[in-house]
Structure 1
């Protein structure tokens, strides 16, 4: 509404349509009628999303292809501002309708409570994409201030601010300066910038998720965990069980499984994986770079399955050995390579990055040396914290120490690091654009 007051109509329409369709689905036992109401909900909601996010992309791509074939046809593009959070609240509302259709939950009769579910402010603009079965019942509970919940929420928010302001925004300075003109940089510079971006996007989005989850927790609401130290994954499949978990599970439940999942033949299972990841790539943005990024991650899943590579993680603390380190590094390399397409401004830029990463000799570009060093220091702190949480999930050091002085010193140190090393230039969250 701050940008365009009329845009409030969009989230209201999405809320009203899914609310009414869910009521209608619940009010009839006729399968065909249920399917009709579900279809209406999907068409209206995904139609709005398509118009604002994908119409121009498909218009240019299709008619550009026809033009290459000598068929001259054009439709005008729409100069529309992409509403903040539209992909997130649309998926959350659509998921609710599907859950009611499947009989997993009953429709919510109270329009105010349902509206709050769609527009709950901590996670409205960038997730986690919540499920109705988890969040809706919490709006009906009487909330009483709970000290422990508030303390847990504040801890999450402090760490989220560290991830965003100290790590992500600090690394962004270097990454942006390199990726804006990749043709001017050497292979070592492009390699470092790509590695930095892997940590930048992780801390940017996981930082937001921690802030959102912590904010909700202070008020007595429990949102789902969205990240679980993804760069400690030993396979690409495990990576996606740790990264943007709310979206990954959404695509699994509402795209992959309806396509047949792994209950079909081998070839169809590969097809289902590729389709799911291609749709996931397109969800992130109307650009071929995102489609290729999604397809590449789908291809990783297929190759792992073909080769029968499925590293098993022990239920107890993970032992560090050469196999573990090898799996971890291979996964990081593959995921980081795919991030090139995610970060590059255009497809041609992505290809330039890959080509020059292989062929371009030269020294390492440091840019602002102090900022570069601060970025490295922040990554070290991040990985020490994630490493401790990974290997000692029930550990009681630092933030979770049983000794109050140790906890307070830990909080103070992180806050001091935020104030000393943080970048306070109003840097936008990457996932706000989706």
Structure 2
């Protein structure tokens, strides 16, 4: 199997970067301050929630004299957006809103986001920038397997690929057999999907007798869920391509808030000409400059938009846990470390904090075990302690006896590296639910109430 590394390096050498990707850090921060001052005043004047929250916190847009002053302003949460459902967060009249997206609302009232024509143009530009950083070039065919509809992923990725000058294949999520047929027939250069869905496609190819490494795909731009370096290695080796991360969330914009460079693959650069990131302690989020953690420290990612018109967002708590690092491929723009989890996906098991990504990282180091796993939380009758069971598939060529040994290894490694005991149940290949988009990892089966 040939490696695409050299080809990837060549692909990045002919990229024409946006001017904002090449400016100095000082220039970028000056631009940020100017845009931030405008955005904070704009939100205060046009969105009643922001006026109310700022006034209650005793802070005014004129108090923002330098970038660090942003820490004086109150946070915005998903609950704020739900309380203002449907259009209370919009800063422009309805006739200026060119498009509306919304979350699924599976855990409560949906969060609704809007875009002006300029917002859509900016969004497409940033997705194009992210795709280009990840190795995609004008003229390439792009297979878009993100879901279309109210979810921002499909249409956001589609518009960005078109803005880059690509030929877009808008397959959306699901219909895995058809996905495989079109990959074979249309011979795309790149695929856009969640990492677990790309894994589902690869597994389905193998079951059909197709070598996933034999397709035309050279690049995968993957996002919408946390994934590990071990998952990247699994996908790159299985499919003979380069896999890069793309980050975003609906409330901030959608995909394209940050993108990973194919030549370094060391975390997504945040496009700081359009967003100001901060890291805070998620479990002690006091408002104040002193509550903002320094670069390199782990915490919850917070975003303030700098250019959005329809829905400016001030200090939005993403619940994503990561850290900020110096830029590399784009030196002025800081990078995000890998998302280690979400504060609302964290399992507290006998006083120990645990995330699904930790299990994935450990499991994929054990050759007998596959990347397909679920976490089941139960509380046995008559007991006060919760029980975690890791249900994970063995690989096809692995015997039941070998998988039993692997289960013991996984159990020991989780105890060593996470600090909590759990049960491990190795199941038959193909027996666990497959991703058709975002994959559900945690199944909470504890008694309610």
TM-score bracket for this pair, using the shorter chain length: under 0.3
TM-score, normalised with respect to structure 2: 0.27
The structure that is strand-richer by fraction is 2
Q: TM-score, normalised by structure 1?
A: 0.28
